Amino acid sequence: MKEFNPNEQGYYGEYGGAFIPEMLYKNVSDLQEKYLEIIQTEDFQQELNQLLKDYVGRPTPLFYSANLSAKYKAKIYLKREDLNHTGAHKINNTIGQVLLAKRLGKKRIIAETGAGQHGVATATTCALLNLECTVFMGAHDIERQKPNVERMRMLGAKVVAAESGSKTLKDATNEAIREWINNPQETYYVIGSVVGPHPYPDMVAKFQSIISKEIKVQLEEQEGTPNPDYVVACVGGGSNAMGAFYHFIDNGHTNLIAVEAAGKGVNTGQTAATIALGKQGIIHGSKTYLIQTEDGQIIEPYSISAGLDYPGIGPAHAYLSDMGKITVGSITDDEAIKAAFELTRIDGIIPALESAHALAYLNKMNLKESDIVVVNLSGRGDKDMITYSKYFNHE
Amino acid sequence: MNNRINTLFSEKKSNILSIYFTAGYPALDDTMTILKNLDTAGVDLAEIGMPFSDPLADGPVIQHSSEQALLNGITIARLFEQLKEMRQHITMPIVLMGYLNPVMRYGVEAFLAKCAEVGVDGIILPDLPMDYYLSHFKTHCEYYNISNIMLISNDTSVERVRQIDEQTNGFIYLVSSNGTTGSNKSLESQQDYYRHIRSLELNNPALIGFGVRDKQTYELTNQYSSGAIIGTAFMKHISEHGIDTDSIQNFVKGIR
């Protein structure tokens, strides 16, 4: 099986590319030329793997959930990305990119964040590796996600409120890109998902691909086969899904299921189901599906989960979906909440609201008892306690 | 084949003043009024901004005007409607500036055909990369005689400047310093870069833009190029002083 890569210009089929203003051209093309060479060196891999093991706590467990298995009448495994340092898969990518930034001689890191998980992971990595860090976050999200804002500040990062547009993730990303345009040479932009101009979608996919790499080894040990029948993961931009799918793409066996946030429902106008509703276009430097008006204005999406309300999707997912290589499903707010409570009570794990979308999809699958299903539990639910407690109090 | 942009630059080698304004702002149908008043005030070229929800290369002033214009209800279709009879009144070259996504949604060829129909002479899409221009735009641009104006910045390599000079026609948009529109970076410190670009003796004339904001910065940039583009300062001016003939004439007189 060959590795899943974009072409030299960063295209997956017709998706991807680098749609950036000239002011970023040199910076981005330098990165395009150097990233593979740098991240493939033995020295880089050694430093990365050491940190992932000793600092992040990898490999994360592949947990056979006897309780979920009994309920859904199949073999259900949970890939415990929630047990990573900082509580989600995001740090797999930030460690990789910040190490790369250091090797490129950059002095300063910037990042965008929605719910704050990528911001916290970036601030954490910058504290560890001693780089200055600025995180852009929508002004609305700053209010909604206070604990993560305080974590970032305690870690020494500067948190800048994005006051433009709808004041959420897409605007935080716009502000980060503007900051990058203003300081292109000294600043490295750590993008948090498999989005943005080439090489970001591929680079982030490669840093997150450790998830599926570990699943293969762990499943081989536990089931005697490296390939599950299904891998289920939630998608906003799509980084945890890409990591969980990466080594199973085109293996001729595993069904890969990407679960979008339907919000109140795909056809309610309050949704983040990008592939279900999206039309082709350009967002944050790449060609992909995005939620937009007839006139090509980007629409602010809605989901109860701040990590899934992104109006675009990684170009690789757009391509894989068009090719029929992944199945795209969607889960509403209510279904996700229900699944989060179910896992909490049945297995004693409070999942992130994002990951709860993947869990909820188990209800929609026609499973056989012999089926092996891996659900990527991308993060833990501590950050979502305010949302959960609203439901808890109404129980 | 020549269009009004080429004619302007062949007749006038220096002191070209280009003004940018956002379509649909301050009120939805102000576009033609602003255009006529700019023409009366003697500006050489006008760039009409097509508002986009996520204008990555723009600073706060143009972000704000774009947001307001979208709230007012501007669309590309409405803009073309506003410009329908433009050529009965306006002789100067007109360029549309915006972002790729709304143009893609409109349809690349349909968009360029409509540009030609209403008498638009060129387009500037900062997030349109060279390879995509070559594969999706160039044939149509040539067919409809619409200039595609490309940007260069002080990080653009000489090799790439030459390549852009090959592919662009009309003029080259020389970004004054790395930044978004309306940045207040010092233009004085960029003189080596302007001098360097001038020394390359490119095929296309250049206008300097981003951060040109008053008489002083206009005169400075004019030493190294055919002229300059002013956007943010003009948008600030009309937000404060309105769009009538006097207001716009005062602004232009303050520049040259």
Q: In chain A, which segments carry CATH 3.40.50.1100?
A: 27-51+90-204, 57-88+209-392
Q: Test A282 with B126 for CB contact under 8 angstroms.
A: no
- How far is Cα A295 from Cα B78, in angstroms, rounded to an integer? 10
Report d(CA A327, CA A358) in Å as an integer: 13
User: Cβ separation of A298 and B132 shorter than 8 Å?
Assistant: no
Compute the average pLDDT of residues B129-143: 97
Residue numbers of chain A with a pLDDT score lower than 50? none
- The sheet carrying B122-124 orders its strands as B147-148, B122-124, B94-97, B45-49, B16-22, B227-230, B206-209, B172-175, B151-152
Which option is the CATH number for A57-88+209-392: 3.40.470.10, 3.20.20.100, 3.40.50.300, 3.40.50.1100?
A: 3.40.50.1100
Structure confidence at residue A143 (pLDDT): 87
Give the pLDDT confidence score for residue A2 in this predicted structure: 66
* Residue B4, phi then psi, degrees to nearest 5: -60, -30
- Cα torsion at B178, B104, A306, A155 (round to 10°)? -20
First CA to last CA distance, chain A: 49
Residue B214 CA to residue B219 CA, distance in Å, equals: 9
Contacting residues of A for B54, CB less than 8 Å apart: 165, 170-171, 174, 283-284, 298
ipTM, two decimals, is: 0.96
Residue A134 gets the label, from left (phi > 0), alpha (psi -120 to 50) or beta, of beta
Q: What distance in Å separates residue A258's CA from the closest CA in chain B?
A: 25
Q: Give the closest of A19, A295, A298 to B100, CB-based.
A: A19
pLDDT bin (cut points 50, 70, 90) of residue B117 is: very high
Q: Determine the length of chain A.
A: 395
Contact A19 B132 (CB under 8 A): yes
What is the band of B1 on the pLDDT scale with cuts at 50, 70, 90? low
pLDDT at site A395: 57
Tell me chain B's radius of gyration from C-alpha atoms.
17
Four-residue CA torsion sign, B54, B57, B59, B65 = negative
Per DSSP bridges, beta strands A75-80 and A62-64 are antiparallel
> From residue B177, how far is each of A47, A393, B180, B183 by CA, in Å?
37, 55, 9, 9
Check residue A28 and give its pLDDT.
96
How many domains, in total, are found in chain B?
1
Domain span holding position B227: 15-255
Q: What is the pLDDT of residue A278?
A: 85
Contact of A63 with A124, CB cutoff 8 Å? no
CATH code assigned at B45: 3.20.20.70
Among 3.40.50.300, 3.40.605.10, 3.40.50.1100, 1.10.150.110, what is the CATH number of A27-51+90-204?
3.40.50.1100
Residue B2 vs residue B29, higher pLDDT? B29
Q: Is A164 on the interface with B (CB under 8 A)?
A: yes
In whole angstroms, how far apart are CA B116 and each of A182, B146, B167, B171?
Answer: 35, 7, 20, 18
Are residues A177 and B56, on separate chains, in Cβ contact within 8 Å?
yes
Best to test chain B binding among A15, A19, A23, A310 (most B CBs inside 10 Å): A23
Catalytic residue chosen out of the listed positions B39, B44, B58, B165: B58
B47, B121, B192, B246: which one is catalytic?
A: B47
Tokens of residue B168, six digits: 């662009």
Note the Cα B99 to chain centre separation in Å: 12
- Residue A309: predicted pLDDT: 87
Find the mean pLDDT for residues B196-202: 96
On whether residue B251 sits in a domain, the answer given is yes
**What average pLDDT does this structure show over B109-121?**
98
Q: How far is A295 from chain B (nearest CA, A)?
A: 6
Does A36 touch chain B if contact means CB atoms closer than 8 Å? Answer: no
| Both structure tokens of A259 | 């679960």
pTM of this structure:
0.96
- Among chain A residues, the shortest Cα distance to B126 is held by A21
| Residue whose entry in the numeric block shows the structure tokens 């090489």 | A199
The pLDDT tens digits of the residues spanning B65-83 come to: 999 999 999 999 999 999 9
* CA–CA dist A102, A383 (Å, integer): 30
Asked whether residue B193 is domain-assigned, the answer is yes
| B115 vs A395, higher pLDDT | B115
Q: What is the pLDDT of residue A306?
A: 85
Minimum Cα–Cα distance from B60: chain A residue: A164
Phi, psi at B150, each rounded to 5°:
-110, 155
Measured CA to CA in angstroms, residue A317 lies from A4, A137, A255, B142 at distances of 12, 25, 14, 35
Query: Which chain A residue has its CA at the smallest distance from B152's CA?
Result: A22
On whether the CB atoms of residues A150 and A71 are closer than 8 A, the answer is no
Q: Are the Cβ atoms of B75 and A295 closer than 8 angstroms?
A: yes
B10 in any annotated domain: no
